[in-house]
Amino acid sequence: MNINDEPVEGLHYSTPPTDLSLHKDILASILFDKDESICYGMLTYKCNSTFTHFIDPSMNCLNGLYDENLPPPPLIHINPASLSAKNGVAAQSCSPRTMLFEMDSGSGTDQFLAWQRCGIPFTVINYTGNKSLHVLVRLETPLPLDEYECLHKAITTCLRSKFNMPVDTATCKPNLTTKIPGFSGKAGTSRLIAISNNATVSHTDFAAWAVSIGVTKELIIASESVSGYRGYNSFTSQNNRKV
């Protein structure tokens, strides 16, 4: 399978429409609710200086509104944003519920197949048009920031060790961006690859998958100094006590 071809539909996901112009609105509707603020940007990973386009909650984020006097932004924040009290422009993540996973190497096709093999219950997979796929998991409700980051780190550790997947260890923060479909990259045009048949991933299902790949309470706590995991009652310790 070539990454620029439509993948065969799986049991839990479907292929996006062939009309690429629809993909931007589809991505926004998957990641955000209509009453939420979203932020578009020109750069990545620098939360305090990245975002030049802010969408107010009173606007319909699905319309993809932005300042027409500026170039169209190629990136979209993966979590709902809020105005920074510091400068009134920069975006701060206020609802850590969507996680982004990305591999550092491998062809787009190899990456897609690797994500299928590990069984991650994704919400949407977005091809960046460059070297990688962004696997986005929107949980049913947000997590406290420490739990979000520690779970992400523990999952990344297990994917790297159990599946030998070169998952980027720098994507554990909620203030990341993904490429808006329709922008040209070095290897192609960014677009959605696969969309889950479920609007969100339940905590129970995500925890069950994490346990199946080797995530434990001990591994989560080892990722950072946290005392437990309030959002994930499905995780069990080695003596089978609920966390």
Average pLDDT across each block of 10 residues of the chain; the chain has 243 residues. List them in order: 50 82 87 76 41 38 44 77 46 76 90 93 93 94 88 94 94 87 84 91 93 88 55 43 32
Which residue ranges make up each domain of the chain? 18-223
Q: Is the CB of residue 135 less than 8 Å from the CB of residue 120?
A: yes
Look up the pTM and report it: 0.79
Dist CA 120 CA 18 (whole Å): 24
